[in-house]
Amino acid sequence: MTVPSPSDLPARPSEPARPEPNPPRQTPRPGVPLAQLIKETRLFVVDMDGTIYLGENPLPGAWAFLQACQASAERDCLFFTNNSSTTAAHYAQKLRRLGWQGPLPPIVTSGDVAISWLQREQPQARVCLLATPSVTRQFEAAGIRLWSEPAGPDDSRAERPDLVLLTFDQSLTYAKLARACQAIREGAGFVATHPDINCPTENGFIPDCGAIISLISASTGVKPVILGKPYPETVAAIEALSGVPRSQLTFIGDRLYTDIACGVNNGAHGLLVLSGEASRADLAGSPVQPDAVLPSVADLVPWLSQAAAGAQLQR
Ligand SMILES: [Mg+2]
């Protein structure tokens, strides 16, 4: 796993920096026709910002796409976001605020992947968690053993943390950073929820988890295990949560190096939509190539309706 180096930081503050992509696959994957891709898919793993909405505006046809998924007996969808600054409940409220009135699909964040990873790999670990209050409550509710600062030398919590887990902590303070770096220097493991360097907001970019990784790594010399898209732990967590094998998962999103790489580099599929960050021009120079490209999720609706009609005819 890679940590963004200082040279990856943006030349200008207004420009997004990108994490290093995963290495390209050894053999190029031939394009899969869209009808076949849809036939092979049981679960669409759908990105949100740039795919379903842009900031506070739903993208045209996004609700029709959700309706078509939910009307289909053969395929379903869930939402996945790398943003671990908040919980699924926040995104559910946002979808309602933007006008989605149907049943809410499951919503999974890279924080959920971290919980799933901790439960599987480090169930006894005392975790020094860098997270917002709502995400901290989510980890507590999941039974994760959270380390907290000892009140004094006789405090039983004086044991050191076993690992530092960094999320997109928008309540980060210098004291928290210093404590985390000290724990890592003293031998605690270092895990981060996702590699995104900048997060787009209505007012421009703000530093995301990847930028905080760079700071901690510069101080400690330690590179973290990174979860979230595009890493295999995300695919494993979605398989475990949904029961759908990776060969029947299609990641839909607007970023080649996270959404699409997560699918195509980990035994699942990747469908790029051009409604957010990536453009057709980006495809030419990209080591990550999607299985299919569409202008937006609205363009999947006729294909889903056709697949549903075909399935009915076969019954
Ligand atoms: Mg996106």
pLDDT the model gives residue 4: 43
Give distance in angstroms: CA of 285 to centre of ligand 1: 19
Give distance in angstroms: CA of 277 to centre of ligand 1: 7
Give distance in angstroms: CA of 179 to centre of ligand 1: 32
Q: How far is CA 174 from the centre of its chain?
A: 26
Grade residue 93 by pLDDT with cuts at 50, 70 and 90.
very high
Question: Tokens 């453009």 belong to which residue?
Answer: 279
- Give φ, ψ of 224 to 5 degrees: -85, 165
Give distance in angstroms: CA of 81 to centre of ligand 1: 8
Give distance in angstroms: CA of 198 to centre of ligand 1: 12
Q: What is the mean pLDDT of residues 203-208?
A: 89
Tokens of residue 199, six digits: 């997060």
Give distance in angstroms: CA of 25 to centre of ligand 1: 23
pLDDT at residue 2 greater than cutoff 80? no
Domain annotation for the chain: domains and CATH numbers: 30-82+230-314 (3.40.50.1000), 112-226 (3.40.50.1000)
Residues 6+ apart with CB under 8 A from 21: 230, 256, 257, 261, 286, 287, 288
Q: What is the mean pLDDT of residues 229-236?
A: 96
- The radius of gyration computed from the CA coordinates of the chain, to the nearest angstrom, equals 20
pLDDT the model gives residue 205: 87
Residue 33 CA to residue 290 CA, distance in Å, equals 11
DSSP secondary structure string, 182-237? HHHHTT-EEEES---SEEEETTEEEE-HHHHHHHHHHHH--PPEE-STTSHHHHHH
When comparing pLDDT for 263 and 312, which is higher? 263
- Give φ, ψ of 52 to 5 degrees: -105, -40
Q: What is the mean pLDDT of residues 69-93?
A: 94
Tokens of residue 12, six digits: 């200008």
pLDDT the model gives residue 270: 97
Cβ burial 24-44 (10 Å sphere, 16+ → b, else e): eeeeeeeebebeebbeebebb
Phi-psi domain of 157 (left: phi exceeds 0; alpha: psi -120 through 50; beta: other): alpha
Q: What is the rounded average pLDDT for all residues in the chain? A: 88
pLDDT the model gives residue 73: 85
Residue 231 CA to residue 298 CA, distance in Å, equals 27
User: Could you read off the pLDDT of 237-256 as tens digits, one per residue?
Assistant: 999 999 999 999 999 999 99
Give distance in angstroms: CA of 265 to centre of ligand 1: 18
Percent with pLDDT over 70 in the chain: 85
pLDDT at residue 107 greater than cutoff 90? yes
User: Could you read off the pLDDT of 136-159 as tens digits, one per residue?
Assistant: 999 999 999 999 877 766 666 568
pLDDT the model gives residue 203: 83
Give distance in angstroms: CA of 46 to centre of ligand 1: 9
Which of 111, 105, 163, 153 is closest to 132 using CA atoms? 111
User: Could you read off the pLDDT of 282-306 as tens digits, one per residue?
Assistant: 999 899 999 999 999 999 999 888 7
Max Cα distance, the chain (Å): 73
Give distance in angstroms: CA of 144 to centre of ligand 1: 29
The sheet carrying 189-192 orders its strands as 127-130, 163-166, 189-192, 225-226
pLDDT the model gives residue 313: 53
Q: What is the mean pLDDT of residues 105-134?
A: 96
Give distance in angstroms: CA of 70 to centre of ligand 1: 21
Give distance in angstroms: CA of 161 to centre of ligand 1: 34
Give distance in angstroms: CA of 214 to centre of ligand 1: 22
Residue 45 CA to residue 68 CA, distance in Å, equals 15
Residue 197 CA to residue 21 CA, distance in Å, equals 13
Tokens of residue 46, six digits: 């759908």
Which of 121, 147, 128, 117 is closest to 185 using CA atoms? 128
Give distance in angstroms: CA of 80 to centre of ligand 1: 10
Q: What is the mean pLDDT of residues 184-194?
A: 97
Give distance in angstroms: CA of 288 to centre of ligand 1: 16
Give distance in angstroms: CA of 51 to centre of ligand 1: 6
Grade residue 127 by pLDDT with cuts at 50, 70 and 90.
very high
Give distance in angstroms: CA of 83 to centre of ligand 1: 10
Q: What is the mean pLDDT of residues 117-126?
A: 94
Give distance in angstroms: CA of 259 to centre of ligand 1: 8
Residue 126, CA distances (Å) to 49, 160, 268, 289 in order: 33, 8, 33, 40
Q: What is the mean pLDDT of residues 102-108?
A: 96
Q: What is the dihedral of CA 246, 247, 248, 252, to 10 degrees?
A: 70
Grade residue 12 by pLDDT with cuts at 50, 70 and 90.
very low
pLDDT the model gives residue 19: 46
pLDDT at residue 87 greater than cutoff 70? yes
Give distance in angstroms: CA of 48 to centre of ligand 1: 6
When comparing pLDDT for 312 and 247, which is higher? 247
When comparing pLDDT for 202 and 38, which is higher? 38
Residues 6+ apart with CB under 8 A from 240: 116
pLDDT the model gives residue 143: 97
